[in-house]
Amino acid sequence: MSVKIGRNDPCWCKSGKKYKACHQAFDERIALIASQGHTVPPHNIIKNRDQIAGIKESCKINIAVLDYIEEHIHEGMNTAEIDKIVYDMTTRMGGIPAPLNYQGYPYSVCTSVNDQVCHGFPSEDVILKSGDIINVDVSTILNGYFSDSSRMFCIGEVSPEKKKLVQVTKECVELGLKEVKPWGFLGDMGQAVHDHAFANGYTVVREIGGHGVGLEFHEDPWVSYNSKRGQEMLMVPGMIFTIEPMVNMGKVDIYIDDENDWEVYTADGMPSAQWEIMVLVTEDGHEVLCW
C-alpha cells in the first residue's frame, strides 16, 4: 500500500523541500500520461542530485578505462590483456569492475570480436588480428554507483563492409540520443536507432537491449531498439539509461554458447557491432554521462 504524500510533507526525492514545491506537479503530469495508457517511470528509477553526482564519479572511471584501451589496443594483443587492464585500472582508481562475479560472469570486462554479439569472454587464446572488429564493454561500481559503456575498435586493416557496420552502429546511437528528452517516449529513441540500421540493410538484435543504470547495474526500464515512436516508457528528468544497440550485418538471429551460457553469437556467423552510452534525461534534454 502506498500512502499519498501530503502537499506539505517532505518530497520523496529527498531534496528536503516540501512536496508541493518539489515533485508534486511532476507527479501529476506523470499520472495524467499514465491515465492515457502509457508506461511511466516509478519513483525509484528517478535519480536525485546527490545520486547523479555519485554516478558521474563512477562514470569518470569507466571513461578513463575505455580511453586507455582506445590508446593501447593493438593487433597481436590477446583479450585477457584487456581484462587485466580493466581490472588493474578500475581497482587502482578505487572502483570495482561491475561484471566480475555478476550473476556468475567470470571476468572484469566483455570483449566481443566479429560475430560475437556481446558478453565475449576475454581469453589468452583470442589474439586480435588485422581485420577484426571488437567491442569492449566496461562497467564500474564506485561507492555503490554504477556506470556502463562500450566502444568498438577496428584492428589493423578492416574491410570497408565491417568499417561501415561499425560506423553506422555509432550513428544509430547518435540518432537515438537526439530523441532523448523529457516527456518523450523511449520508443522515439528506439525507432530512430532501428530505422537507421534498417536503412543500411542491417538488423537490430531483439532479445538483448539497454537498461536503466546507476543505483544498480541493471534497473528498469528495459530498453528496446525494435520499438515505435510514442511507445514504451515515458522519459522524465532524472532517469538514466543506456543506449546500446547490437547491430548485425546479416540476419537478426543469435545464439548463446551452451558451454558457458554467456557468449552470444550471430546465428549466421556475420559480424555484429555495438556501441553503448549512458544518458541522463535532464529538464531540457539530455546529458551523456558515459561513452
Q: Binding residues for Co ion, per CB under 5 A? A: 148, 242
Evaluate the CA torsion angle 104, 123, 88, 59 in order and state its sign. Answer: negative
- What mask, x for binding ligand MF3 by CB under 6 A, covers residues 103 to 142? x-x----x--------x-----------------x-x---
Q: Which does 99 bind (CB under 5 to 8 A by kind): ligand MF3, Co ion, none?
A: ligand MF3
Q: Please count the helices (runs of H) and the strands (runs of E) in the chain.
A: 5, 15
- What mask, x for binding ligand MF3 by CB under 6 A, covers residues 69 to 108? ------------------------------x--xx-x---
> Among residues 244, 248, 264, 286, which is the contact residue for ligand MF3, using CB under 6 A?
244
| Count of residues in the chain | 291
Contacts of 54 (CB under 8 A, 6+ apart): 142, 143, 144, 145
Q: Which does 83 bind (CB under 5 to 8 A by kind): ligand MF3, Co ion, none?
A: none
Contacts of 265 (CB under 8 A, 6+ apart): 115, 116, 117, 254, 255, 256, 257
- Please tell me the number of Cα atoms within 13 Å of 22 on its side-chain side: 17
**Applying CB under 6 A, does 176 fall inside the site for ligand MF3?**
no
Contacts of 86 (CB under 8 A, 6+ apart): 65, 69, 97, 108, 109, 138
- Cβ neighbours of 5 (radius 10 Å): 17
* Sheet of 203-204, strands arranged across: 203-204, 246-248, 272-274
At closest approach, how far in Å is the CB of 189 from ligand MF3?
A: 16
At closest approach, how far in Å is the CB of 99 from ligand MF3?
A: 3
Identity of the residue, 166 or 290, whose beta carbon is nearer to ligand MF3 in the bound complex: 290
At closest approach, how far in Å is the CB of 87 from Co ion?
A: 19
At closest approach, how far in Å is the CB of 243 from ligand MF3?
A: 10
Cα maximum dimension of the chain? 64
> Among residues 81, 83, 132, 148, which is the contact residue for ligand MF3, using CB under 6 A?
148
Q: Which residues bind ligand MF3 (CB under 6 A)?
A: 99, 102-103, 105, 110, 119, 137, 139, 148, 244, 276
